[in-house]
């Protein structure tokens, strides 16, 4: 029998032979488990120190890390992520990233589209900053190798996208997020000072004297709780779409970072604003990019009618008209409105019954095979694989699915939170540039702009700021967290509820009560269910008590995070008695600028229910107006 | 605790799937082609050594064993050539502007067509 | 369709509990639009919470869920039960990697190899935000295919050389090296040559071609490696015949 040689494949690089015991030399019972007298953890003295610790290895996290390394090469940077960076959910973004680059465009136009799209909830100073920085960030990505689509003369190509009067969406076929993420990940490899802790799941932020000085994380492959101490921490952990049952989001979008900040006393802003993407595949919720409509795809109901024309979204042009698709009208309207139209069509009985509920159809047949293969090849692949249809010849069944959370950790324009030393960027943060509804292709630009800004400000803070004084405090909190994980999870016997059951109940409560259309009683009902689930959560059953790669434990911890976010969301939605953007109340159908031109802030309380407060929206040059689409 | 488990690789790994088996056959063809080259060298020596020596070789090559050997070598050479031509487009992709010429076209143009043309020339030269 | 089942025979390995791996059978409800990943999720959520495996996007773009399904390397989110039903399905971790736990492999070595080919744009003015480097659609199409790799490592499981020669850089890493070499904006061919053209680089490849067959994204790593072989040979000739100039 041949034996494979060791060395390069060795898990820890030391190239040990098979069957070597790689556990640290601590006493373990014969099964190496944590059950019994005590959860075995890494020695407390083993605190890892870095200048900047970034939690999350997606677009925002990688961009922040590179920003730190570029600004101040002497700083040591850590990227801690519960998955390898190339698995981060940025990878599944498809359509493109928006930035002003063409002669017919202007910063004011991009800002105005964004602010209008946000239903005037976006902070206009943040938007003005964002639109000016976005082109620079995207050009920097281009320099780093991102394979943007080009015009024949070699310049960047752009395509139309929803809610934008002028086309400005840069794209890389229909896998923009994939290319962006891999470009960032591969570029990050050239910086020796960036150290990665892959498959480490963060459980708590360390806070002392009103300052965030690190975090504790489970090293998944050993199961041990570890501690990283830092002068600055940046949270880039993404959104929490998985609190809903139908979502484009992958398994990992469970709001971990949001929850960590929330529990540390930082406010979560605008949580009630959840974006439903109008075109997800029924059943699994897989995203069919807006680019399909940007290239000319149309939405039709049971009767073959382009139903959007019935909802003040403009007049449909013939699909072969050279001016189709007309920007800012019909299928290129904003996502919140398109998703709401679906609900109305369903009420009228105009939707098509499918195996997984009602759908409408996305028709791209008129684009032709050549254009589909060139501009939206991934859409074709996904349809063939997961629905068994070829969009070149057949209609794609689609329905609105949860896609993005406009809300998140409340930050300044520089990504700083109210907790000194703690920063946040990306979907987990809320600056806010997206307000009550995000325009497609603004998110990929956002993670770069604010990832870089948060990285830069964290780098400055780490360079200027003093080293945390009280290392004993870190060690105490580390030890306490070890005990807590052991006590509440690993060593705890019994338990009644399976993780999946609780999660499903949460999903149903959210979809039924806090979906596209909400009202007071549905939200109260949801709030009650969630409170009940928080109770049940204390009695969750953990079948897997092992240490090495205990994915069930991670699922339990993620559920805990999701319940926090869900509860805060429901309460904020209940408190906002108006309709704006993606938050639609059937009992308060009008927008109320007098009372609610404000962001909601949710603060964690001991008893679980959040305290809701408000913060004025920053208005500079665009006074609130009517959100009109349908005429360019 | 960690204890990564190494699965051993069998010394007959190439028998575990048809693609691996055919890969081995393809690689083994080089042995037969190599053997035939040795034979060709022997032919040359015999040729240099004179007509009688050459005649002896000719007679020996008519034996049943030799015929079987030559049949195998021919099959090997054919398989070797066909797989080579089919893989050529991967080694030397031909691009025109944005498009890449389809692999079969390149295989024909760089492999099969010259093969047929050269073979025709050889046959014509021999039969003339 | 009611009450149809399919058997999944899953590789289990619990370090500390198991000295050697075992196969555990599960009866999973059969749905014609389920993939192996759906079946694994059903097992974990309803029957056996101790089953450990990686997954995330469930749409074939994150590369987490590579496994051996009936001996073939596949993404479990793209392997449909209907292609196997009613026969049982054997699920194992990717070949040629050490197994951390159940279906989870250790990929440290893979990441080191990826880094060794210097997969970033190498040029002096790489940091800049004034205007884009021009690149025609034709120039983009030269390397586009090789940029589609999702790092799923199915190619490493399919390649016998990876198993027999652990130092072999491997299909995905070599394809990524070519991706940058062919990118008109990059000037780093010379810097990558020492890895790509080395014995552990392209030269260890024997063109089995299975890597390309199993690649779910049509990256064609086999083709990439062969092109690197040609480029390496040309590079060697250039260095011998024209030792004064280096591109």
Q: Which residues of A fall within a CB distance of 8 Å from B98? A: none
C52: nearest CB among A175, A182, A551 = A551
- The pLDDT value given to residue A41: 55
Grouping H, G, I as helix, E, B as strand and the rest as coil, residue A407 is: coil
Q: Judge if A547 and A516 occupy the same domain.
A: yes
Closest-CA residue in chain B for A21?
A: B3
Q: Which tens digit of pLDDT belongs to each residue from A271-329?
A: 999 999 999 999 899 999 998 999 999 999 999 999 999 999 999 999 999 989 998 89
Looking at residue A389, which CATH number applies to its domain?
3.90.700.10
Closest-CA residue in chain B for C207?
A: B23
Confidence grade of residue C128 (pLDDT, cut at 50, 70, 90): confident
- The pLDDT value given to residue A246: 93
- The pLDDT value given to residue A14: 34
Active site residue A293: yes
Is A3 an 8 Å CB contact of chain B?
yes
- The pLDDT value given to residue A27: 31
A483: in domain: no
Q: Which tens digit of pLDDT belongs to each residue from C153-201?
A: 999 999 999 999 999 999 999 999 999 999 999 999 999 999 999 999 9
B1: nearest CB among A3, A4, A32 = A32
A36: in domain: no
The mean pLDDT value of chain A amounts to 91
Of A389, A404, A419, the residue at which a domain comes to its end is A404
A369: in domain: yes
Q: Judge if A538 and A598 occupy the same domain.
A: yes
In angstroms, the separation between the Cα of residue B69 and the nearest Cα of chain C is 27
B3: nearest CB among A2, A4, A19 = A19
Is residue C157 within 8 A of residue C186, CB to CB? The reply is no
The answer, yes or no, to whether residue A164 has pLDDT greater than 80, is yes
Is residue A420 within 8 A of residue A211, CB to CB? The reply is yes
Q: Judge if A394 and A379 occupy the same domain.
A: yes
Is B64 an 8 Å CB contact of chain C?
no
The answer, yes or no, to whether residue A42 has pLDDT greater than 80, is no
Residue C50's Cβ-count burial label (10 Å; 0-12, 13-18, 19+) is buried
Q: Which tens digit of pLDDT belongs to each residue from C63-90?
A: 999 999 999 999 999 999 999 999 999 9
In angstroms, the separation between the Cα of residue B12 and the nearest Cα of chain A is 9
The answer, yes or no, to whether residue A29 has pLDDT greater than 80, is no
Q: Do B8 and A548 touch (CB under 8 A)?
A: no
The catalytic residue among A110, A293, A583, A604 is: A293
Closest-CA residue in chain B for C166?
A: B9
The answer, yes or no, to whether residue A508 has pLDDT greater than 60, is yes
Is residue A66 within 8 A of residue A455, CB to CB? The reply is yes
A421: in domain: yes
Q: Do C163 and B4 touch (CB under 8 A)?
A: no
- The pLDDT value given to residue B1: 74
A54 secondary structure, DSSP code = E
A548: nearest CB among C15, C60, C64 = C15
- The pLDDT value given to residue C242: 87
Q: Judge if A324 and A358 occupy the same domain.
A: yes
For residue A211 the two structure tokens come to 């300052």
Q: Which residues of B fall within a CB distance of 8 Å from A18? A: 4-6
Looking at the structure of chain A, the number of domains it has is 3
The answer, yes or no, to whether residue A156 has pLDDT greater than 80, is yes
Q: Do B19 and C21 touch (CB under 8 A)?
A: no
Helix, strand, coil % over all residues of chain B, rounded to 5: 75, 5, 20
Strand order in A158-159's β-sheet? A97-98, A169-170, A158-159
The answer, yes or no, to whether residue A11 has pLDDT greater than 80, is no
Closest-CA residue in chain A for C102?
A: A549
Q: Do C144 and A147 touch (CB under 8 A)?
A: yes
Q: Judge if A297 and A385 occupy the same domain.
A: yes
Is A255 an 8 Å CB contact of chain B?
no
Q: Which residues of A fall within a CB distance of 8 Å from C147? A: 147, 179, 182
Q: Do C121 and A179 touch (CB under 8 A)?
A: no
Is B21 an 8 Å CB contact of chain C?
no
Q: Do C166 and A284 touch (CB under 8 A)?
A: no
Q: Do B91 and C106 touch (CB under 8 A)?
A: no
Q: Count Cα neighbours of A46 within 13 Å in the Cβ-side half-sphere.
A: 10
C140: nearest CB among A83, A150, A182 = A150
Cα separation, A602 vs A266, whole angstroms: 9
Pairing of strands C5-12, C89-92: parallel
Q: Do C62 and A548 touch (CB under 8 A)?
A: no
Q: Do C209 and B2 touch (CB under 8 A)?
A: no
Least confident of A14-18, A245-249, A542-546, C6-10: A14-18
Pairing of strands A274-280, A232-235: unpaired
The catalytic residue among A63, A110, A168, A277 is: A277
- Continuous H helices in C5-153: 36-42, 108-116, 137-144
A447: in domain: yes
Q: Do C50 and A544 touch (CB under 8 A)?
A: yes
Q: Which tens digit of pLDDT belongs to each residue from B72-126?
A: 999 999 999 999 999 999 999 999 988 999 999 999 999 999 999 999 999 999 9
Q: Judge if A594 and A609 occupy the same domain.
A: yes
ipTM surpassing 0.85, yes or no? yes
Q: Do B90 and C229 touch (CB under 8 A)?
A: no
For chain C, which domains are there? Answer: 5-105 (3.10.20.30), 108-241 (1.10.1060.10)
Confidence grade of residue A95 (pLDDT, cut at 50, 70, 90): confident
- The pLDDT value given to residue A8: 29
Q: Judge if A287 and A253 occupy the same domain.
A: no
Q: Judge if A298 and A383 occupy the same domain.
A: yes
* Section A114-140 average pLDDT: 97
Q: Judge if A306 and A417 occupy the same domain.
A: no
Give A470 or A450, the one with higher predicted confidence: A450
Q: Which tens digit of pLDDT belongs to each residue from A52-75?
A: 999 999 999 999 999 999 999 999
C56: nearest CB among A135, A187, A252 = A252
Cα separation, A221 vs A219, whole angstroms: 6
Is C163 an 8 Å CB contact of chain B?
yes
Q: Do C138 and B95 touch (CB under 8 A)?
A: yes
Q: Which residues of A fall within a CB distance of 8 Å from B16? A: none
Is C147 an 8 Å CB contact of chain B?
no
Q: Do B23 and C209 touch (CB under 8 A)?
A: yes
Closest-CA residue in chain C for B97?
A: C138
- The pLDDT value given to residue C2: 60
Pick from A287, A236, A201: which is nearest to A63 by CA? A236
Is the bond preceding A532 in cis, omega lying within 30 degrees of 0?
no
* Distances, alpha carbon A128 to alpha carbons A22, A114, A158, A269, in Å: 53, 10, 21, 20
Cα separation, A544 vs A554, whole angstroms: 11
Q: Which tens digit of pLDDT belongs to each residue from A386-417?
A: 999 999 999 999 999 999 999 999 999 999 99
Q: Do B16 and C141 touch (CB under 8 A)?
A: no
H or E, element range at A55: strand A52-55
Q: Which residues of C fall within a CB distance of 8 Å from A385? A: 60, 78
Q: Which residues of B fall within a CB distance of 8 Å from A223? A: 1
Q: Judge if A563 and A577 occupy the same domain.
A: yes
Q: Judge if A587 and A601 occupy the same domain.
A: yes
A18: nearest CB among B1, B5, B11 = B5
Closest-CA residue in chain B for C138?
A: B98
- The pLDDT value given to residue A25: 32
Looking at residue A612, which CATH number applies to its domain?
1.20.58.100
Q: Where does residue A357 fall: left (phi above 0), alpha (psi -120 to 50 degrees), or beta otherwise?
A: left
Q: Judge if A381 and A414 occupy the same domain.
A: no
Full domain range(s) for residue A571: 494-616
Please tell me which chains touch B, using 3 or more CB pairs under 8 Å as the contact test: A, C
A114: in domain: no
* Section A467-494 average pLDDT: 85
* Section A4-30 average pLDDT: 33
Q: Do B91 and C141 touch (CB under 8 A)?
A: no
- A408-418: b or e for each residue (b if 16 or more CB lie within 10 Å)? bbbbebbbbbb
Q: Which residues of A fall within a CB distance of 8 Å from C169? A: none
Q: Which residues of B fall within a CB distance of 8 Å from C141? A: 95, 98-100
Percent of chain A whose predicted confidence (pLDDT) is above 90: 83
Is the bond preceding A436 in cis, omega lying within 30 degrees of 0?
no
In angstroms, the separation between the Cα of residue C82 and the nearest Cα of chain B is 22
Q: Which tens digit of pLDDT belongs to each residue from A576-627?
A: 999 999 999 999 999 999 999 999 999 999 887 899 999 999 999 999 998 8
The answer, yes or no, to whether residue A530 has pLDDT greater than 90, is yes
A139: nearest CB among C50, C129, C144 = C129
Strand order in C89-92's β-sheet? C22-29, C5-12, C89-92, C66-69, C72-75
B-facing residues of A in 207-226 (CB < 8 A) are 221-223
For chain B, which domains are there? Answer: 16-127 (1.20.1300.10)
């Amino acid at each position: 029998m041949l034996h494979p040689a060791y060395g390069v494949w060795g898990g820890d690089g030391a190239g040990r032979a098979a069957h070597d015991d790689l556990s640290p030399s601590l006493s373990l019972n014969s099964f190496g488990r944590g059950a019994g007298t005590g959860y075995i953890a890494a020695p407390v003295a083993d605190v890892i120190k870095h200048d900047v610790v970034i939690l999350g290895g997606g677009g925002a996290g990688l961009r922040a890390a590179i920003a730190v390394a570029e600004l101040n090469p002497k700083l040591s940077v850590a990227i801690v992520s519960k998955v390898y960076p190339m698995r981060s959910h940025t990878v599944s973004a498809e359509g493109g990233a928006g930035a002003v680059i063409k002669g017919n465009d202007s910063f004011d136009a991009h800002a105005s589209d964004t602010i209008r799209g946000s239903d005037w909830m976006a902070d206009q100073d943040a938007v003005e900053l964002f639109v000016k920085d976005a082109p620079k960030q995207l050009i920097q990505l281009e320099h780093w190798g991102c394979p943007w689509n080009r015009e024949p003369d070699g310049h960047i190509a752009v395509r139309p996208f929803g809610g934008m009067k002028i086309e400005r969406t840069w794209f890389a076929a229909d896998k923009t997020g994939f290319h962006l993420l891999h470009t960032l990940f591969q570029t990050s490899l050239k910086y020796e000072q960036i150290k990665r802790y892959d498959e480490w799941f963060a459980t708590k932020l360390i806070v002392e004297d009103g300052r965030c000085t690190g975090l504790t994380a489970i090293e998944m492959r050993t199961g041990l709780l570890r501690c990283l101490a830092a002068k600055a921490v940046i949270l880039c952990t993404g959104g929490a779409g998985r609190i809903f049952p139908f979502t484009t989001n992958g398994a990992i979008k469970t709001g971990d970072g949001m929850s960590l900040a929330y529990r540390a006393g930082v406010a979560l802003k605008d949580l009630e604003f959840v974006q439903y993407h109008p075109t997800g595949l029924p059943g699994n919720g897989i995203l069919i990019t807006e680019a399909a409509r940007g290239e000319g795809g149309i939405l039709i109901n049971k009767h073959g009618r382009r139903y959007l024309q019935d909802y003040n979204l403009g007049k449909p042009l013939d699909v072969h008209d050279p001016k189709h698709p007309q920007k800012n009208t019909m299928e290129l309207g904003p996502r919140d409105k398109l998703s709401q139209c679906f609900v109305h069509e369903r009420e009228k009985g105009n939707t098509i019954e499918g195996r997984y509920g009602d759908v409408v159809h996305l028709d791209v047949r008129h684009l032709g095979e050549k254009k589909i293969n060139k501009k939206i090849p991934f859409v074709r692949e996904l349809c063939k694989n997961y629905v068994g249809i070829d969009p070149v010849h057949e209609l794609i069944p689609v329905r609105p699915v949860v896609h993005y959370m406009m809300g998140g950790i409340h930050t300044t324009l520089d990504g700083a939170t109210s907790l000194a030393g703690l920063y946040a960027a990306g979907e987990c943060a809320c600056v806010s540039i997206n307000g009550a509804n995000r325009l497609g292709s603004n998110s990929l630009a956002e993670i770069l702009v604010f990832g870089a800004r948060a990285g830069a400000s964290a780098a400055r803070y780490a360079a200027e700021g003093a080293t945390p004084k009280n290392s004993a405090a870190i060690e105490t909190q580390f030890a306490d967290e070890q005990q807590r994980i052991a006590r509440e999870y690993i060593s705890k016997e019994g338990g009644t509820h399976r993780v999946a059951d609780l999660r499903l109940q949460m999903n149903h409560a959210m979809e039924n009560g806090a979906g596209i259309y909400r009202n007071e009683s549905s939200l109260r009902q949801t709030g009650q269910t969630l409170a009940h689930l928080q109770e049940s959560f204390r009695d969750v059953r953990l079948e897997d008590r092992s240490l090495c790669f205990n994915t069930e434990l991670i699922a339990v911890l993620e559920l805990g995070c999701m319940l926090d976010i869900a509860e805060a969301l429901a309460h904020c939605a209940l408190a906002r008695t108006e309709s704006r953007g993606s938050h639609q109340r059937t009992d308060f159908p009008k927008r109320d600028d007098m009372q609610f031109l404000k962001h909601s802030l949710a603060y964690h309380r001991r008893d679980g229910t959040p305290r809701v407060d408000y913060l004025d929206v920053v208005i500079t040059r665009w006074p609130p107006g009517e959100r009109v689409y349908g005429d360019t | 605790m960690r204890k990564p488990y190494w699965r051993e690789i069998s010394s007959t790994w190439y028998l575990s799937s048809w693609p691996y088996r055919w890969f081995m056959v393809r690689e083994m063809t080089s042995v037969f082609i190599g053997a035939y080259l040795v034979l060709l060298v022997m032919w040359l020596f015999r040729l240099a050594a004179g007509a009688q020596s050459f005649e002896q070789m000719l007679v020996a090559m008519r034996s049943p064993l030799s015929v079987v050997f030559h049949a195998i070598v021919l099959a090997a050479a054919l398989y070797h050539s066909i797989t080579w031509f089919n893989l050529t487009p991967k080694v030397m992709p031909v691009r025109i502007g944005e498009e890449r010429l389809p692999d079969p076209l390149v295989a024909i143009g760089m492999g099969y067509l010259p093969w047929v043309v050269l073979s025709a020339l050889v046959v014509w030269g021999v039969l003339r | 369709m009611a009450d149809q089942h399919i058997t999944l025979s899953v590789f289990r390995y619990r370090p500390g509990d198991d000295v050697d791996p075992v196969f555990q059978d599960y009866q999973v409800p059969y749905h014609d639009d389920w993939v192996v990943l759906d079946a694994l999720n059903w097992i974990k959520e309803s029957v056996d919470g101790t089953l450990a495996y990686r997954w995330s996007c469930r749409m074939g773009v994150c590369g987490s869920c590579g496994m051996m399904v009936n001996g073939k390397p596949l993404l479990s989110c793209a392997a449909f039960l209907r292609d196997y039903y009613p026969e049982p399905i054997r699920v194992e971790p990717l070949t040629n990697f050490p197994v951390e736990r159940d279906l989870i492999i250790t990929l440290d070595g893979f990441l080191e190899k990826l880094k060794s080919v210097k997969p970033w744009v190498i040029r002096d003015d790489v940091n800049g935000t004034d205007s884009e480097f021009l690149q025609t659609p034709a120039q983009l199409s030269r390397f586009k295919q090789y940029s589609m790799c999702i790092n799923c490592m199915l190619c490493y499981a399919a390649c016998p050389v990876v198993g027999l020669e652990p130092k072999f850089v491997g299909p995905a890493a070599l394809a990524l090296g070519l991706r940058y070499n062919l990118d008109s904006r990059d000037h780093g061919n010379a810097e990558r040559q020492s890895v790509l053209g080395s014995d552990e680089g392209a030269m260890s490849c024997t063109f089995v071609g299975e890597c390309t067959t199993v690649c779910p994204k049509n990256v064609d790593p086999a083709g990439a490696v062969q092109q690197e072989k040609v480029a390496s040979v040309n590079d060697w000739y250039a260095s011998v015949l024209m030792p004064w100039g280096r591109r």
